[in-house]
A = this chain, B = another copy of it.
Amino acid sequence: MINKLIEKIQKTQAPIVVGLDPMMKYVPGQIQKAAFAEYGETLEGAAEAIWQYNKGIVDAIYDLVPAVKPQIAMYEQFGIPGLVAFKKTVDYCKEKGLVVIGDIKRGDIGSTSEAYAVGHLGKVQVGANAFYGFDEDFVTVNPYLGSDGVKPFIKVCKEEKKGIFVLVKTSNPSSGEFQDRVVDGKPLYEIVGEKVAEWGADCMGDSYSYVGAVVGATYPEQGKLLRKVMPKAFILVPGYGAQGGKGADLVHFFNEDGLGAIINSSRGIIAAFQQEKYAKYGEANYAEASRAAVLDMKEDIAGALAARA
C-alpha cells in the first residue's frame, strides 16, 4: 500500500491528504435539511448529513489527491450511526481509488492492539469465515505502550500489505508536555522516531517503509530533525492551514527525492466555503470551494518545494 500511495502522489503531483473530519457546523444547510427531513434530528440524521457532505467533497476532489484521512472521532461522537457513516465513507473513498488513512490513534497492550489491528486493517475469524471490519489502508497508532502495543499492527500490515503512521510529534500546542521531555540528552519524540525507524527497517516497500510517522506541520524544526532520524519513514504531516502550518514550513519534511511526506489539511479544505477566500462559491457549491482549496494547497506546496531546489 505504501507503493500505491507513492505512485498516486507521483501521478497527482500532490503530496496531499484531505482530512474528512466532518463537524455539523461545517455541513451546508441544504444537506442538513434533507437529512433531517428523512431521519429527523437524530443520530441517524446527523450520520446521513455527514455522509452526504463527505460524498460531495470526495466527488469533487478524488482526481486531485492520492488519499483521504477520515478522523474516526468525528463519527464516533454520533455513536453507532456515526460509525456506519465512517464505514460508508471508507468504502466509498476506496471505490473512488483513494488511499484511506484511518485516523484512529489506537494503541494498547499486545492482545488488545491485535484486536484493533484486525478490526481496522485485517480480517477477523468467525467460525470458518473471515471478515474485514473497517478495512482502511493505513491507520495511525499511539506508541505510549511501547513495542508490544505497536507490533501487532505491523504483523497485520505485513499480511495485508497495508501500513501505519506512528504518532511521534503531534501538531497540538501541548504536544511538548511529554513528547519534548529530554531523555539522555534527546527529546522523547526523537527516541520514538528512532523506534519507528527500527520497527520499519524490515517493513520496506520499494523505496519507503510501510511503518511511517506522524509529525505536526506546526513543528518544522522538529520535522527537519526527524526527517534525518527516520530517512525511510513516510511522514504524515497534520496541522497545515487551520492549525497554522504553511507550505514553506514543510519543505524539510521531504527528502531530496521530493517524497517522504504527505501533508494533511482538514478544515481548510472541507470547510473552505466558510472562509472569506472561497465565500464566492456559497454554501450550495461547497464541494467546488473544497476543490479550489485543494488546488491552492497543491500550488503552495509545489512552490515551496521548487523554491528549495
Contacts and interface: CB of A to CB of B under 8 A. Distances in A.
Residue among A82, A87, A113, A126 with the highest chain B CB neighbour number at 10 A: A126
A119 interface: yes
Contacts of A175: 145-146
Interface stretch (A9-17, A52-60, A187-195, A203-211): A187-195
Given A24-B126, A41-B127, A145-B175, A170 B109 contact: yes
How many copies of this kind of chain does the complex include?
2
Interface in A161-220: 167, 170-179, 181-184, 188, 191-192, 195
A195 B177 contact: yes
B144 A178 contact: yes
A206 to B, nearest CB: 30
Contact of A147 (B45, B125, B174, B191): B174
A46 interface: yes
B178 A188 contact: yes
Given A42-B126, A74-B115, A144-B179, 15 more contacts: A21-B112, A32-B127, A43-B131, A45-B127, A73-B108, A76-B120, A77-B115, A78-B131, A78-B133, A79-B124, A79-B133, A105-B106, A149-B172, A178-B188, A181-B184
Nearest to A176: B146
29 contacts: A21-B112, A32-B127, A41-B126, A41-B128, A42-B126, A43-B126, A43-B131, A45-B127, A46-B126, A73-B106, A73-B108, A73-B112, A77-B124, A77-B133, A78-B131, A79-B87, A79-B132, A105-B107, A105-B108, A109-B171, A144-B144, A145-B172, A146-B178, A146-B179, A148-B172, A148-B173, A149-B174, A181-B183, A181-B188
Interface string A24-44: 100000001000100001110
A65 interface: no
Contacts of A21: 112
Contacts of A32: 127
Interface of A: 21, 24, 32, 36, 41-43, 45-46, 71, 73-74, 76-80, 82-84, 87, 105-110, 112-113, 115-116, 118-120, 124-129, 131-134, 142-149, 167, 170-179, 181-184, 188, 191-192, 195
B178 A192 contact: yes
B149 A178 contact: no
